[in-house]
């Protein structure tokens, strides 16, 4: 039983490492603007999440051995890195979304436009030209 648990942990660690590499790849795509590669990355992330979930449900709750404790520490470290990279990628996506929404409002207007026809902001206390800081 111990070897099955250790094997499940080792398999899960391998899948977590693949997920971490995929998140690095996703981050590079987001930073470089290569959005066409994001769809296959998202599909692969979903597949890896399902695999991790299946491996986790297979993992037994046997008492920890020294080997298993080492594997669990490695797994925990990978999970922390994955969470960190996923948050960073989410922040980039959020920034891109805000930029796109702002550009859409500037270019196509809204019911409450951000800028006047003269290119200044609507708020008179902080008037500035488009693109100026």
List, as one string, the DSSP characters of 26-70. Answer: HHHHHHHT-GGGHHHHHHHHHHHHHHHHHHHHH---PPPPHHHHH
Domain ranges of the chain: 2-126
Confidence of residue 97 (pLDDT cuts 50, 70, 90): confident
Contact indicator for 45, 22 with CB cutoff of 8 Å: yes
Q: Determine how many CB atoms are found less than 10 A away from the CB of residue 19.
A: 23
Its pTM surpasses 0.85: no
pLDDT tens for residues 107-129?
776 665 555 666 666 565 555 54
Per-residue pLDDT reduced to its tens digit, 8-43: 889 999 999 999 999 999 999 999 988 899 999 999
């Amino acid at each position: 039983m111990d070897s099955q648990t250790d094997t499940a942990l080792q398999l899960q660690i391998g899948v977590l490492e693949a997920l971490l590499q995929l998140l690095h790849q996703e981050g590079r795509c987001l930073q470089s603007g290569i959005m066409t590669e994001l769809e296959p990355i998202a599909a692969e992330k979903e597949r890896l999440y399902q695999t991790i979930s299946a491996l986790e449900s297979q993992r037994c709750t046997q008492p920890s051995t020294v080997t298993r404790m080492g594997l669990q520490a490695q797994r925990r470290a990978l999970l922390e890195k994955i969470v960190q990279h996923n948050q960073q990628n989410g922040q980039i996506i959020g920034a891109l979304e805000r930029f796109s929404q702002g550009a859409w409002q500037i270019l196509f207007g809204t019911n409450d436009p951000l800028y006047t026809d003269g290119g200044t902001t609507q708020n008179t206390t902080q008037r500035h030209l488009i693109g100026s800081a």
